[in-house]
Structures are given as structure tokens and as C-alpha cells.
Amino acid sequence: MKEGVIKRMLPRSLYGRAALILLVPILTLQFVVSVVFIQRHFEGVTRQMTRGVIAELTLILDSIDASEDVVIAKTALEPLEVALDIAVTLPQVTHVVSARPFYDLSGRTIQSELAESFPNLNAVDLGSSSKLVILGFETHLGPVTVEVLRARVSASNPHQLLVLMIFTGLLMTLIAFLFLRNQLRPIRRLAFAADAFGKGKDMTYKPTGATEVRLAGNAFLDMKNRIERQIEQRTMMLSGVSHDLRTPLTRLKLALSLADDTDDTEAMRKDVSEMERMLDTFLDFARGSMVEETVSTNPAELVDRVVDGFTRSGGVIEVTCSTDTPLVLLKEVAVERALQNLLGNALRYGTKARVGLSVGQKAIVISVEDDGPGIPEDQRIAAVKAFSRLDTARNQNSGTGVGLGLAIAADVARSHGGLLRLGESKELGGLKAELVLAR
């Protein structure tokens, strides 16, 4: 439980954690130096200086005790006051009250040393003046007030070391933060470049920074180039295969168009059309969406355009989205193709479909629901894999396909930094597919 609380309190970013690693030792060092050095050192210095003044005060009090009256005492004290730089008021004019500010740590040592040395000490006033220590004594001639310079009983300006230490610590921390930011900037640029590439955006990136960061940047560029070459080669290969296969298919279509209309020729025409559709699907999957540029698109208009194409073919589709949506950067053709696949599946396995659109600050969600048999939860991961055709989830007799519809939609979502979520439609009872696209 405590470990979980600590993890939630820690910064999530690398910059925040590095700053924490930097600050904790500095603050700990400042605290240790403040307590151990300042407290103990100045306590020892104050104790030594106070004991020196105690010897002088003893001389003054002995002189007072040896005098028979106040006049004799004042005469005897005059040379001592000048020599020792101590002011003595006899008899006492004002009553002395013990006082010490809470932040005066060395004053506590002064009070304790004086109290131990003089049983007749009435009060030690450290609060009336920051430059004086005012003492009240009880003698046989009456109350006596003694004023001693504070600089004679404790180190002057003990806070200067603390202020200097704090100022130097803040300055070094600022310099360290600037250095840390410069070191972490290349890592952030690498993260942004990787994120942009994952979303299919072309972002200029040049490795900079420390040797390890440069190695990671160069490895990323090598990986990026390999993936781009692989996608290009796959697209070229399947485009060539598709082109080569279309030539004999075109000849077959021409031959069938010249043949007499019989049951066999009609079945062959359907087979040829199905083969053409399968080739188009293979090509769409091979092409993917990595090579397409993002453009400013109105999501509502895109949804309406796809829905209109299905409704003209007799599909029953309900649209629940606002037409007042902002322009967003999307791979318009890829998203349109993904939505067509989702709607095609919905109408193939169900009698009606519902399309919803939600545009948020960080993501766009396009949902497609149907009233078909749906897909069991334990088979949804397999359903989005390429060439996957579920035998029990959907009725395969309801339509034909090659198992690429959901795979293409998932690939489009990943190219936008999102994902394809499959669930159950609570209102229609069939499958609910949500195409989540990061903004």
C-alpha cells in the first residue's frame, strides 16, 4: 500500500525524476550542514566567548560586593567599564525581563552558561536589542543592570554562512537544471520522432546529445528506414501481383461477356467479381496507411460520405453524431477505407447498423454497431488478425471475405496512434467496433 502511494507521488516524466534525483542530495546536504556544522560549531564558539565574558562579569560583581555603598561601587566600576567595554547601571533603573527570539539558537547557550555561573542572575534579555545582551543581577547594593555587546558573547551574523550556503546551492541547482534540460532535450526529440513515426507522420529528426542518446537515435533511424523500405517493397510486390492477375481476369471477363448466358457463366462471372474484390482487399492491406499524408478533415463529413454510399445500396444505417465538428489531421483515405470495412461487416452480418462519432481533446472515436451475432470476448483478439475468419462468431454463409476487414481497420487506427476496440452493443445486441484515432 505504502509503495503504491510513493509511486503515485513520484514524478512520471524523466525530467521530473532526474530533477528529484538532483534535488534530494542537495537538500539533504544543506540540512546536514545546517544542523551539524552551524548548530554545533556556533554553539561551541558561543560557549567559549560567553565564558570569556563571564570572567569579566565576575570581576565587576566582585568589585560591587567589595564596595560598602553605591558611590564607592560606581567609583570602582568606572575604569572597569571603560576597559572591559561593559555598561553597568547601579542602582537599576528599569526592570530586566528574560527574553529570547525563537530563532536565536545561540541565545539559548548564552542563557544556560550565564545561569550556571551566576546564582544571583535574575534575567537575561536577548530580545530588546539585537546588538546587546542585558543582564539583571541581585547584589547587596540592590538590583544591577549590565549591558554587554552581543558580538562579545556569540559569533556575529551566524546566518551569513547559512545564507551563503543556500544562495550557492540555489545557483548550483539552477546551473544543474539548465544542464539537465540540455541533456534531456535530445531524448524528448527522439520520443516525439518515434511517436510521430508511429502515427504515420514524417518528422525530421537528427540524433544529438550524449553518445548513448545518439546511438539510440541512429538505431531509430535505421529501424525507420528498414520499415519504410519493407512497406514500399511489400506495396510494390502486391501491386505487381495485382496488376499481373488483373490481366487474365480481364480476359476472363471479356470471354464471359461474349459467352451465352447460362447458369454456369453467371456463376463464373460472380467468381471473377469476387476475385477482383479480393485483389482490391489484398492491395488495401498491403498498401496500409503509412505512405499517406495527413490532411485537415471534417470527421462528420467523412462519416456522412461513407454512410451515404451504403444507404444508396439499400443499407439501413442510423447516424448519431454532430455535424458541427472541428477540422482534424487525418489520413482521410485510410480512415474512410477502415470505416467502409467496419460498416460492410456490420451490414453483412446484421440487418441494420448504427454509426457514432465523438471528437475529444485527445482522440476521435468512430463507433459502428450492428444487430448481428457479435464476436465472443475470447475471440476478439484473433478477429483483428489478418486472414482470420471466425467459424462460430459470425455466420460465414452470410457473406464472403478474406478476413482482412478488421485487420485493415486496426492497422489504420495504429497508424494514427490509436487502436480498434471490439465490444458488445448494448442496444442492438451485436458487435460494437470503436475506431479510436489520436489527435
For the segment 57-72, the average pLDDT, to the nearest whole number, is 91
Among 231, 261, 287, which residue terminates a domain? 287
DSSP state of 85: T
**180 vs 82, which has greater pLDDT?**
82
Max mean pLDDT among 24-28, 202-206, 261-265, 362-366 falls in 362-366
254 & 306 share domain: no
- Is 187 a domain residue? no
Quick: pLDDT tens for 320-338: 877 678 888 888 888 888 8
- Is 39 a domain residue? yes
- For 355, counting Cβ atoms within 10 Å of its Cβ (0-12 exposed, 13-18 middle, 19+ buried), the class is buried
Reply yes or no on whether the pLDDT at 389 is more than 70: no
426 & 312 share domain: yes
For 138-177, b where at least 16 C-beta lie within 10 A, e where not — what string? ebebebbbbbbebebbbbeebeebeeebeeebeeebeeee
Quick: pLDDT tens for 426-437: 888 889 999 998
**Residues 60 and 144: beta-carbon distance below 8 Å:** no
For residue 270, the model assigns a pLDDT of 80
**235 vs 61, which has greater pLDDT?**
61
Domain encompassing residue 214: 206-287
For residue 138, the model assigns a pLDDT of 92
Give the bridge partners for 366, in sequence order. Answer: 357, 435
**Residues 413 and 338: beta-carbon distance below 8 Å:** yes
For the segment 226-246, the average pLDDT, to the nearest whole number, is 76
Quick: pLDDT tens for 95-141: 889 999 887 878 888 999 999 999 999 999 998 888 899 999 999 99
**407 vs 38, which has greater pLDDT?**
407
For the segment 187-200, the average pLDDT, to the nearest whole number, is 82
**Residues 366 and 357: beta-carbon distance below 8 Å:** yes
**Nearest residue to 420 via CA among 342, 362, 313, 356:** 342
Q: How many domains does the chain have?
A: 3
8 & 23 share domain: yes
Alpha helices in 67-203 (DSSP H): 70-84, 105-117, 159-198
Q: How far apart are CA 168 and CA 381, in angstroms?
A: 58
Q: How many CB atoms lie within 10 A of CB 266?
A: 11
Alpha-carbon dihedral angle through residues 157, 161, 162, 167, given to the nearest 10 degrees: 120
220 & 299 share domain: no
- Is 402 a domain residue? yes
Among 287, 309, 344, which residue terminates a domain? 287
Among 226, 257, 287, which residue terminates a domain? 287
For residue 355, the model assigns a pLDDT of 92
